[in-house]
Structure 1
Amino acid sequence: MSAGSRESVAVVIVTFNRAALLVGMLDALAAQTRRPDAVYVVDNASTDHTRAVLDARTDLPLHVTTTPENLGGAGGFHLGVSQAHEAGFDRIWLVDDDVVPAPDCLEVLMAQDEACLLSVREDRAGHLVEKAATHFDLRNPLAIKPKTRTVETDWGTRAAMPERVEIQNVAFEGFMVRREVVDTIGLPDPSFFIFYDDVDFALRSRRAGFRIWGVRDAVLVRQLDFDQQHDLAGWKGFYMFRNLFVVHFRYGENRLVRLKPYLIAAAVVALSPIRGGRAEAGNVIRAITSARSMRRVPDPGPPRR
């Protein structure tokens, strides 16, 4: 009997006003060949029919928390991972509400004897769209974006991948950790609100000596397109800028990399008349100020057992 078959596993889902997508995620969990022992759902104060969807699911071991206000993905995963860890589960699988795991996805992950694992995403047409970094460069100050290579760009198709690939950052869309990871580094940082909380958690894990493995045969189907990177002038743009800057401040491997957020901010402001306008310039100015207050890596707190 493998270690994974003896271990318990809890799923953590964060959702906000996406009841139709949540149905697909819950249907897929109910169809898993290795059923989860618990499913912790953090409903971020949804105003659609999310509650009715959850109340109807008597086929899953749901533990639902409806928050009084929207905590963001980061706050939701902080809460859900805390609940699953305190309940004593051996492994915790973090998934978003817009992905659908293949029927054997959880079984494939549980068969891997590793502390940190990542399901590999594809789109609804079956194309590989796994954007987890195979090289996340926090050493070169000339690298505008630290993610310089991904699973998708390295291999192109799932068939071309080896069985496991080492990953340097993750998305909280199919990321699995053993409880020892949380014992060592603490919980996801809720102060990110959205974006880069998963990157931060992966970087903390790797700094603590854990390796992260993407598992080729653990298939996760993403239901939405990747289009959020085009919203730099909107409210999400503030978090994209700020949290990218925080990652550089916290984990930049030299002084030049840690200074890079200031150069990016200056360039965005200088170019604002011909691209993002006042809104984007305002976002980046507020972002650099806020990011400075988040430069310290979170204290993991007292040992969790």
Structure 2
Amino acid sequence: MSAETVAVVVVTYNRADLLERMLVGLAALERLPDAVIVVDNASSDHTPGVLAAAANPGLQVIRTEDNLGGAGGFHLGVRTAYHGGFDRIWLMDDDVIPAPDCLTVLMARDEDCLMAVREDTAGRLVEKAATRFDLRNPLSIRPKKAMVETDFGSRDRMPDLVEVENVAFEGFMVRRTVVDAIGLPDPSYFIFYDDVDFAVRARRAGYRIWAVRDAVLVRQLDFNQQHDLSGWKGYYMYRNLFVVHLRYGENVLVRLRPWLITAVVVLLSPLRGGRAEAGNVIRAMRDARGMGDVPTRSVD
């Protein structure tokens, strides 16, 4: 394991100050990565200057012509790392900072799929990877039923390894053999649920995913999942949730759940999100049907 190579893949968009601190954190790791691949999603702030000044060994910058979203960025970054021949690929958002020994701890584990465990800047456990992700119960609107944070409350209550059923692309490490088996992250999600989709595919291919208690990753920003469902992010949240159900629902009733959610949102729209949310959910349902196929195993 000590001889394995590892590339970090970071996706960034218009968050230069966060990215700068994150790159400093990577440069301070005890065990330096063999490459740091940053996908700059056509940022319009001073991100290019931050990257030009960065002193990270093995830094590769890919600047896209358009914003590909997090999903498109991770697809491109993982593809680049895979074709670079690296044994492991460590996925990072631009708002996290690893503890100095984080990569050392992960690389010491002989497992194919690993998660660093996130905490906030005050040291509180904020790891939201699901320990139970239910795509079987048709009465369950939200598939995430339990997560590391709520199961344990604090890091010191966790065992060394906790099996999780989905991941965030914030500290997720995967061996190239997993990419061989299931293919690349799906860029068509744009934002949200691309990481969930990848985890579901990995688990269905027989891989287990482990959150590693002592691999510490600090999140610079507070979690804010309460997006405006009548805005543009709301469209992607609805559409991509529906895609996960249509692709991976374990029975017909679960795969029909997006239609039920659409109907309920439209019926209740006068009382909550109005026409904008109703329009979002109708468009999301229509577009999700066109994304129903599970991605191929291609790595091209």
TM-score (normalised: structure 1) = 0.97
Question: Offset at 1:61?
Answer: 1.6
Residue from 10, 27, 32 that aligns with 2:29: 32
Name the counterpart of 2:244.
247
* Matching residue of 2:13: 16
Aligned residue runs from structure 1 range 222-301, under 5 A: 222-301=219-298
**Mapped partners of 2:116, 2:105: distance in 1:** 9
- Counterpart of 2:67? 70
1:175 to 2:175 alignment = no
Paired with 1:155 and 1:145, the residues of 2 have a C-alpha distance of 21
Unaligned runs of 5+ in 1: none
RMSD in angstroms over aligned alpha carbons? 0.9
Q: Which residue of 1 aligns with 2:45?
A: 48
- 1:93 corresponds in structure 2 to 90
Moved over 3 A (4+): none
- Of the three residues 130, 139, 149, the one matched with 1:152 is 149
Q: After superposition, what is the alpha-carbon deviation per residue over 1:244-278, rounded to whole angstroms, capped at 9, x for unaligned?
A: 00000000000000000000111111111111111
Give the TM-score, by structure 2 length. 0.99
The separation in 1 between residues aligned to 2:276 and 2:129, in whole angstroms, is: 29
SS at match of 1:166: strand
Alpha-carbon shift at residue 58 of structure 1 (Å) = 2.8
SS in 2 for 1:265: helix
Percentage of identical aligned residues:
71
Q: Is the 8 A contact 2:262 2:285 kept in 1?
A: yes
* Count of residue pairs the alignment pairs up: 300
Q: Which residue of 1 aligns with 2:181?
A: 184
SS across alignment from 1:172: coil
Counterpart residue type for residue 64 of structure 2: T
**Distance across 2 between alignment mates of 1:6 and 1:275:** 56
**Structure 2: where are the runs of 5+ without partners?**
none
Corresponding residue to 2:99 among 97, 102, 120: 102
The separation in 1 between residues aligned to 2:232 and 2:57, in whole angstroms, is 35
Counterpart amino acid of 1:186? G
CA deviation map 1:85-117 (0-9, x unaligned): 001000000000011111111110000000000
1:197 maps to which of 194, 199, 210: 194
The counterpart of 1:124, out of the listed 114, 121, 125, is 121
Q: Secondary structure at the match of 1:257?
A: helix
